[in-house]
Amino acid sequence: MAQTHSTQSLDFDIDSITGDARAGQLIINDQTLETPNLFPVLNFYAGGTQRSVYGGGVHRTIKEFMIGADRVGTDPLSEYFDAAMTSVSSLTDYNLTRERYEDYLETPIKERELFEPFSGLVFADSGGFKFLNSDEMDGSDFEMEMNQETVFDIQQSLGSDIIVNLDHPIAPDDGHEERVEKARQTADNIHEFLSLSRDFEGALYLTVHGYNYSMIDEFLDVLTDEVPEGVIREGFDGIALGSLVPKKDNRGALITAVSDCREVMADWGISDWPLHVLGISSRAIPLLAALGADTFDSSTHLHNAINGKYNYSMMESVPIDDVDFSRCDCPVCQSDELVDRMKGNAEYQKDILGPVAMHNLIIQKRELAEIRRCIHEEDTNALVDYFEDRFSRDKTMRRYAHQVVNESLGGYF
């Protein structure tokens, strides 16, 4: 049952398969990530200086937990940062000076002493989603054209372990011609990306766009008209399925896109490549893991916190004012000082909401460990039971959970 997909840059060992779900290890640059797993979105550089852990409000507090800074008073919570997603486009959010921009890119993230406790896999996306409408990075005293070369330079300077080509994501109302044109533009970038990244130390994921089998299959057809299939097979290590952000709350659409993408991968003979799903809501994670997605990135832990929501489980969140903190044994909720802050006793919003975001992330990471445990069981029963336990009382999710159990886990016994 075990399968391995090995390239120069990556080993992907699948050691358990149950239904369509799979679990294993993704090994890049000697770092091992258990899959399926979550890359939480994290802005390592967010306008500030080293003294403020490079800033970022709630992002800053999350980084303080990651490194165990005095301000949060916990040990480094590195175990929850075995992976992180950082966006090239996040650098455009902070109106940087050129000097600061250059300072950020001077040293790779994991070579900075400040981030020493962090050794997780860094995935840097291309910002394609953001640069679609404006292809410039606006600093306070400089502007820069964002093209394949600049994006690659940034990804490499950050010391990323996984990167993607600069893509042209599709939108739900794009017509057929427009989608084909975007696939051609993405293909143009791929030529350049593969030549720029020849000496890159890390894994290259190919971005794939489409909402269903025929769209994804056609995307690959257009791509391979422009770039020989052999070059794509040789050059890339994994697949990143994108363009799903506008559909992230539409569970049915997500299920179709991910299960169809797995089918296309099987038909193209690359089913053993790792599949990452870009930009999803964490509530979709169990469904996508059951469909055979290996990794995903999400900012739900942050968004929930910013909206005043504390997660009791991956599925259930409650307003902070109603929380019984004693229910949680995570290092955040075990600290009287941090509980006091979460109750609103702090001067800055980031000190109230940052610990909530960290707690939310811990809940998600623990839930993923449980999903992996179920996949590693001998048959589909454990995962089906897990779905039953988590979704049977959840009116909005139940229907989709049943669909996934029936289509991907062999149905109920």
CA 387/CA 154 separation, integer angstroms: 40
What is the closest distance, in whole angstroms, from the C-beta atom of residue 218 to Zn ion in the complex?
A: 45
Residue 251 Cα distances to 41, 396, 400, angstroms: 21, 9, 7
Contacts of 384 (CB under 8 A, 6+ apart): 405, 409, 412, 413
Q: Which one of 244-252, 265-273, 331-339, 376-384 is the stretch in contact with Zn ion (CB under 5 A)?
A: 331-339
Looking at residues 357 to 396 of the shown chain, list those that interact with Zn ion (rule: CB under 5 A).
Answer: 359
**Nearer to Zn ion by C-beta: 142 or 312?**
312
Asked if 333 interacts with Zn ion (CB under 5 A), we say yes
Assess 158 for contact with Zn ion (CB under 5 A).
no
Q: Determine the length of the chain.
A: 413
Q: Which of 77, 166, 330, 409 binds Zn ion (CB under 5 A)?
A: 330
Binding segment for Zn ion among 85-93, 255-263, 303-311, 352-360 (CB under 5 A)? 352-360
- Expressed in angstroms, the distance from the first to the final Cα of the chain is 22
3-state helix, strand, coil in the chain (%, to 5): 50, 20, 35
Cβ at position 311, least distance to Zn ion in Å: 9
C-beta of 293 vs 328, nearer to Zn ion: 328
Q: Which residues contact 396 (CB under 8 A, 6 or more apart)?
A: none
Q: Which stretch binds Zn ion (CB under 5 A): 54-62, 285-293, 306-314, 353-361?
A: 353-361
Q: Show the tokens assigned to 316.
A: 């259930």
Q: Of 343, 305, 307, which is closest to residue 324 (Cα–Cα)?
A: 343
Q: Are 273 and 239 in contact (CB under 8 A)?
A: yes
Residue 77: CB minimum distance to Zn ion, A: 11
> In Å, what is the CA distance from 375 to each residue of 19, 130, 390?
9, 35, 15
In the complex, minimum distance from the CB of residue 38 to Zn ion, in angstroms, rounded to a whole number: 17
Number of residues that bind Zn ion (CB under 5 A): 5
As measured in angstroms, the least distance from the Cβ of 330 to Zn ion is 3
| Residue 14 vs 342, nearer CB to Zn ion | 342
Least separation in angstroms between CB 342 and Zn ion: 9
328 near Zn ion, judged by CB under 5 A: yes
For binding to Zn ion (CB under 5 A), which residues are involved?
328, 330, 332-333, 359
